[in-house]
């Protein structure tokens, strides 16, 4: 039982490290607002929730990973950088 507890503690520490130090920097285009960023699992996939500035009651999202450097929606370009 002690080995399982150690593995669980290491996984929890890794997730905390990734949440604090490996968080992506997402810059939205004009007219958009970021509502939240959530890490998916223990990997480097993040869910970015956003809304348009003129329609704040509708929330949409997209997912990014560590190889993502930008995201395009029509003419709008999101800049993404990683520490």
Our count of domains for the chain comes to: 1
Reduced to 3 states, what is the DSSP secondary structure of residue 2? helix
Which tens digits make up the pLDDT trace of 5-60? 666 666 666 666 666 677 899 999 999 999 999 988 777 899 999 999 999 999 99
> pTM for this one?
0.76
Residue 23 and residue 80 in contact, taking contact as beta carbons nearer than 8 Å: no
Residue 60 and residue 49 in contact, taking contact as beta carbons nearer than 8 Å: yes
CA distance 3 to 6: 5
Question: What are the residue ranges of helices labelled H in the chain?
Answer: 2-21
Structural domain harbouring 19: 2-81
What would the two tokens of residue 19 be? 């949440």
């Amino acid at each position: 039982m002690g080995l399982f507890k150690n593995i669980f503690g290491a996984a929890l520490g890794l997730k905390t490290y990734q949440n604090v130090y490996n968080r992506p920097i997402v810059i939205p285009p004009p007219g958009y607002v970021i509502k939240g960023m959530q890490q998916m699992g223990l990997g480097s996939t993040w869910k970015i929730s956003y809304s348009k500035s003129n329609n704040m009651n509708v929330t949409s999202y997209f997912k990014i990973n560590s190889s993502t450097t930008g995201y395009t929606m029509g003419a709008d370009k999101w800049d993404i950088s990683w520490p």
